[in-house]
Amino acid sequence: MPLMVGTGTMGSLAMQDTYFKKTAGTFVPSMFVTVPISYFLAGAAEADVRRKKAISKFDNFVRKHPFLTAAGMSGTLSTGMRLIKRAELLSKLDNNSLNVIYNQLIL
C-alpha cells in the first residue's frame, strides 16, 4: 500500500509539472483534483446507501456518475479561473479604457 501511494504521488507531481507549466488550458490539470474528489464523494454516498440511509438526488447522481461529475466540476473550475483572470485584467484598466470597452460592447 505505501508503495502505491508513493507511486501515485510521484506520478501526480510529474503530471502537475507537465500540465501546470503550460498556458493552454486548465481543464486537464483540474481533473487531477476533481476526479479523486468525485470518486471519494461517490464512495461515501454508496456507503450511505448500503447502510440504508437516505441520500439526496445530487448525492445519488454523484454516486452513479462520478466521472461526469468530475468533468462538470473541472469545467466550472476552469471557467471560474478564466473569469478571475478577466476580472484582474479589467481592474488594471483606467476609466477611459473601461468606458471605451463598455460603449463598444453594451451600447
The reported pTM is 0.54
Give the model's confidence band at 5: pLDDT under 50 very low, under 70 low, under 90 confident, else very high. Answer: low
> Of residues 7 and 46, which shows the higher confidence score?
46
Q: List CB contacts of 101: < 8 A, sequence separation 6 or more.
A: 93
What per-residue confidence (pLDDT) applies to 44?
Answer: 92
Give tens-digit pLDDT for 20-79: 665 556 666 777 788 888 899 999 999 999 999 999 998 999 999 998 888 888 878 777
Tell me the three cell numbers of residue 36. Answer: 479523486
Domain map (residue ranges) of the chain: 25-105
- Any idea of the CA torsion for 56, 62, 64, 69, to the nearest 10 degrees? 150
What pLDDT shows up at residue 93? 67
Phi, psi of 77 (to 5 degrees): -65, -45
Q: What's the pLDDT tens digit per position in 8-22?
A: 666 666 666 665 665
